[in-house]
Amino acid sequence: MPDPTRRLDRPDAGETHAAPPDGLPDAGGDGRRAALRARLLMAVSALVALGLVMVYSATAVRAQRGGMEWSYALNQLQWLGLGGAGMLAAGCAPARWWRRTAYGLAGAVLVLLVLVRIPGIGTKVGGAYRWFRFGGVSVQPSELAKLAMILALAAFLARRRPEDVRFFRDVTKALLFIGATVGLIVAEPDLGTAALIGGVLGLTLLAGGARPLPLFCSLAALAAPALVFGYAHFEHLRSRLEAWGSAAGQYHTNISMHTIGSGGLFGVGLGRGPAKLAFLPEAHTDFIFAMIGQELGLAGAGVTVALFAWLAWNGLALARACPDRFGRLTVFGITVLFTAQALFNMGVVTGLLPPKGIQLPFVSYGGSGLCVNLALVGLMLSASRARTTDPAGAAADGRAGWAAGVFRRPLPAARAAGGFPENG
């Protein structure tokens, strides 16, 4: 029976424990990971429930004109059932299976990103080829790219310890892979999603051992041509950037900020927000956070931000607790994706960023986005349940400079451990 008073930074003989970095929870064994998974699921469940309520509130009047006020909410509920099944399947699949199929999934998604640009195969909406249509169902391959690219990059980086990652041998290959993915998404065009995926993969590279200065310079060299190309060739992007930088602002941003401000501290009441009736565009998708601010007030918006912060905290703690490098990088990348997407959406809604169609994860209306996000949660659960430990990889992650704030710092006994086994 272990002594409950014994400090974790003073292990018994023969034991290997990790002392936690300041400000982050301690990373433990199976029990610790189970508790983190439970809290992660609680945060996701709360966000999904909030999304269902707000989707109904934002669409009931519009749907009632068509004869069924529950139609949007019921559609979202159906997608939630499908996404829940996907989360269960992804969570039950062993982590080693995800690692072995990562490159195949990434290749398939790249093919889909090419096919969606072909007239007659992809569907053009609003001047952009972003969707496949199958009857009444729309699928956005750029959403699938989020899952596949994080997996593939984690599998690629997991082959080496952080101190063994070399720029020309490893990072340049990863950057070519990121550039091909981002370039295809820019060509749709969908610059918001391209920037989001590129940034998340760049941070995952950094956590995986890439040196910050060469990496940032390389990412800037990739991003600059994409931004110049988009500004020169896409009128809607140019007009949005110019309007966002002007004193008058941009229509969507002005309306959104007015909507949030009208809610006050506790909002006008659920279902009573007038902005959704006419002048707030995409009240149930891109600007649903504005509806939360109007109907639930600053208190409701604050609870939403707190839920995403709780999700991010538990996601980073779960990444630290994963027993192998592939799992740590996968969970880290997905956590950064959810956090960055939420911050991006809230930044647009509050006028801090130029308008771009990035939805609020788990909350906004949308089938493919909800399904992919829930599948990503299942992937986090799978990666954290790997059975094979990787103490040497954990030690290397702990010494990897910037990544030391994310991954645990093991004691000398763990640093001396050798071997780099396959994922369990």
- The structural domains of the chain, with segments of one domain joined by +, span 37-409
Name the pLDDT band for 418 (thresholds 50, 70, 90). Answer: very low
> In this model, does residue 355 exceed pLDDT 80?
no
Q: Are strands 409-410 and 18-19 parallel, antiparallel or unpaired?
A: antiparallel
CA distance 77 to 62: 18
Residue 374 CA, chain-centre distance (Å), reads 11
Q: How far apart are the two ends of the chain, measured CA to CA in Å? A: 28
More confident residue, 22 or 144: 144
Q: Are strands 128-134 and 123-125 parallel, antiparallel or unpaired?
A: antiparallel
pLDDT of residue 20: 39
pLDDT of residue 405: 41
Cβ-based neighbours of 332, under 8 Å, separated by 6 or more: 204, 207, 315, 316, 319, 406
For the stretch 272-299, pLDDT in tens is 888 877 678 888 888 999 999 999 999 9
Q: From 187, 150, 115, 136, select the one nearest 367 (Cα to Cα).
A: 136
Rounded to an integer, the average pLDDT of 12-38 is: 57
Tokens read off for 319: 């990444």
**DSSP structural state of residue 366:** -
pLDDT of residue 166: 81
The beta strand positions in 111-160, using DSSP E, are 123-125, 128-134, 137-139
**DSSP structural state of residue 163:** G
CA distance 22 to 405: 9
Q: Report the b/e string of 225-244 with b at 16+ CB within 10 A.
A: ebeebbeeebeebeebbebb
For the stretch 214-235, pLDDT in tens is 888 888 887 777 777 767 776 6
Q: Taking the CB of residue 368, how many other CB atoms lie within 10 A of it?
A: 19
pLDDT of residue 387: 65
The DSSP string of 248-268 is S--HHHHHHHHHHHTTTTT-S
Residue 327 CA, chain-centre distance (Å), reads 16
